[in-house]
Structure 1
């Protein structure tokens, strides 16, 4: 009998961040990554910082806004794993957990912003991350991630890891870096929080359901620290 080809495991992409709040720029990055990489994108909100109040909305509100933002979006999901820990959430710990779930052969990637790449050498066990996942780097307006501007140790470590081929991320479990070139959108979470505090419209900056949630729960209003229960 002829051999039956076993399909390669699907690429799973984790897109972490505070998402405080999630906005149309975040969704644009997630959609573009999904479509270009043919992958499920798991938006993964960060836990609240320990020992101090969250700077904007707490983790429960941020995750609920993500739920609203991705509702009806194919292959965009919310992953709450970092909210379920009692300890600080380091990417290296998250990836070890992912590997225990998906196994050593599944292709896994972290989707990060350009500014996160520039600061990568300050992450815990940053070099070990590449044994557990690929990195997909989303462009950000005003942030240059050309190889010539990366910090020396980081540039040297990444020199042989860059690829322009999406297929390379599907063929091996980890270790490659791909630059995600996409249309850049205006707007940032900082700007959105400031607009809410000033009583200005969020039209075109966040999904309507997210804008309604912010208004309903009085999030980001001047002098207001809002929290929710799980």
Structure 2
């Protein structure tokens, strides 16, 4: 079994997340992509706006019934900061024998050496490095990493939150069920 692990704050989840996950699923021949919402991401502790529970609900709504995708709330059950190495240990134990691919953007890859236990992460999973057209080239992709060409979508959760706060439309930037949750809960105003 080949499993993609897509961690993030998903604050909120948007169509860019879904398109990238679909690209990686197809290009790596994955059986599924697990969306893993972070409870307390160590690098964004003060910046997460919606509660972990609401973000998980929005991710579930975003993926709908797509059989390629699942939501895994394992980080939401954990106390304290969410470290990738802990998540991969748990997934490796749960999916014995599966090949794990951890989705990571070029921006996050630059900081990867500073993450908790990067060598152990590379022993448990390949890094699926998301390569968008126009991104700077990596000088060398090391062992344990695979470059995955993905569709370039110039969209961020930050921009969506800004648009909501400014009273602008987010239609077509997030799925309709996610938009409904945001409106109903009064998020990001």
Question: What are the residue-to-residue correspondences of 1:1-230 with 2, within 5 Å?
Answer: 10-39=1-30, 40-48=32-40, 55-103=48-96, 105-140=97-132, 143-144=135-136, 146-148=137-139, 158-159=141-142, 161=143, 176-221=144-189
Q: Is the 8 A contact 2:41 2:83 kept in 1?
A: no
Structure 1 stretches of 4+ moved >6 Å: none
Note the C-alpha offset of 1:60. Answer: 0.7
> What does the per-residue CA deviation read over 1:25-74, in whole Å, with 9 as the maximum and x for residues that have no partner?
00100111112222100000001358x66631111111000010011212
Higher strand share: 2
Change (3 A) 1:91 1:20: same
1:119 aligned counterpart, secondary structure = helix
Q: Normalising by structure 2, what TM-score? A: 0.91
How many residues are aligned here?
A: 186
Q: Normalising by structure 1, what TM-score? A: 0.75
Q: Give the gaps of 5 or more residues in structure 1.
A: 1-9, 149-154, 162-175, 222-230
Q: Distance in 1 between matches of 2:57 and 2:109?
A: 27
1:87 aligned counterpart, secondary structure = coil
> Which protein shows a greater Rg?
1
Q: Is the 8 A contact 2:132 2:149 kept in 1?
A: no
